[in-house]
Structure 1
Amino acid sequence: MKHHAAYGLGLEDLDVVIVEDSKPMQTLIRSILISFKVARVRVFDSADEALEAMLSEPPNVILADWRMAPTSGYQLLRLIRHRHMEPLCYVPLLFITAHGTRALVDKGLRAGAHHLLVKPLSPATLYSRLQWLLTDERQMILESSGFYNIDGIHKTLDVQAEKIKTLENARHYHKQATKRLAAVQSAVEKEFASASRSVPDSVDLTGKRIIPAASDKKAPRISAFGSTRATGS
């Protein structure tokens, strides 16, 4: 096992290669890196052109766009991670993409990328990612496939995928339970409304007779001897 090519260096020591087919993005990234006072910045329009130059002078870090033609950034990563590409196989690569989907991130990291940066790229984001990279002590290991990768990355991604799957299952269950509860509440309300319309005015919902309220007129009072008289005020 071996550390990646930028481990333990300072920003001012870095030789960075930018592989980007967009001129505006080239200018932006180059300007940001120069503001960090890195030792060297090389810019290439295509992966093939960059690969030829890097075979002669390997950099410490590669910043590559994911989608390029004819060779994509992903294909470039797979090329340099092969064991016969030493020392390029140890150079950390950070993807720059406008499509940072979960599936794309998973694919890139499983192929040996160290990180994915989403456009638009800010100086603060690039600075923090480079600083993190310089202290990332995960080592590069040779897999049975003949390609180098980051030690433990597959296990880490598998654990994350399982957590995401568990959360998605929980959300699905909650959604279904909420629907069932709403259906039960709706049925109960309809039944209650139907029962209320069918009950006579003189009987309450328990079946008990409703006794009319007393009027304001004084009712006659019956004495113990059977005689009647009106109650006075």
Structure 2
Amino acid sequence: MKHHAAFGLSMEDIDAVVVEDSKPMQTILRSILLSFKVARVRVFDSVDDALEASLAEPPNVILTDWRMEPTSGYQFLRLVRHRHMEPLCFVPILFVTAHGTRPLVDKALRAGAHHVLVKPVSPSTLYKRLRWLLTDDRPMTLEHSGFYNIYGIHKTMDEQAGKMQSLAGARLYHRVATQKRAEVEDAVEAAFEKKAESGPVFAGVKKEEVKAQPRSAAARHIRNAGYATVKDVKLH
């Protein structure tokens, strides 16, 4: 096992290669990297040109787009990580893409990328990632497939996927529980509204009827209905 090509270097030692088919983005990334006072920045429009130049003079870090024609950034990563590409196979690769979806990030990191940045990337974010990269001591290991990869990356990604699945399950449970609670509250509220519409009954007489009549009339109404009032009850 061996460390990647940028491990232990200072920012001023970095020889960076940028692979980007957008001219404006090339200019932005070059300007940002030069503001960090890196030793060298080489910019290429295509994977083929970048690969040829990198094989002749391996850089310390590669920044590449994901979607490019005719060769994509992912294909470039796989080419670089093959054991026959040594010493280029040890160069860390950072993707700078406008399509930073979770499946893309998972695919890139499992294939040997060191990080994925989403456009538009700020100078401070790129600087932090590069500083992190210079101290990233995870070794590169040769897999049975014949490609180099970051040691332990699959285990790390599997653990993260498990946490995300657990979190998704917890969110689903909370959503279902909240929905059931809302249904129960609606049912209870509807029941109370129905009872309020019928009016509460006191001794066989609706409360509204009692209030609407004089007290004596109300008492007669109760007697006529066959219910006793308090005065009718004799204590023994």
- Provide TM-score, normalisation by structure 2: 0.85
TM-superposition CA deviations, 1:66-95 (whole Å, max 9, x none):
110000111100001011110111000000
Q: How does 1:1-233 map to 2 (within 5 A)?
A: 1-199=1-199, 202-203=202-203
Cα RMSD, aligned residues only: 2.2
- Please state how far the C-alpha of 1:37 moved relative to its aligned partner: 1.2
Cα distance change of structure 1 residues 142 and 203 upon mapping to structure 2, 3 Å threshold: farther
Q: Quick one: distance in 2 between partners of 1:125 and 1:141? A: 28
Secondary structure, counterpart of 1:62 in structure 2 = strand
Aligned match of 2:234? none
Structure with greater helix percent: 2
Distance across 2 between alignment mates of 1:157 and 1:90: 20
TM-score by length of 1: 0.86
The separation in 1 between residues aligned to 2:41 and 2:47, in whole angstroms, is 16
Runs of 4+ residues over 2 Å off in structure 1: 195-204
How far off is 1:202 after superposition? 3.8
Q: Secondary structure at the match of 2:37?
A: coil
Rounded Cα–Cα distance in structure 1 between residues aligned with 2:146 and 2:130: 27
1:196 is displaced (CA, Å) by 2.7
Work out the CA distance in 2 between the residues paired with 1:138 and 1:5: 12
Query: Which 5+ residue runs of structure 1 have no aligned equivalent?
Result: 216-233
Paired residues in the alignment total: 213
Q: What residue identity is the alignment partner of 1:93? A: I
Q: 1:197 to 1:38 in 2, by over 3 A?
A: same
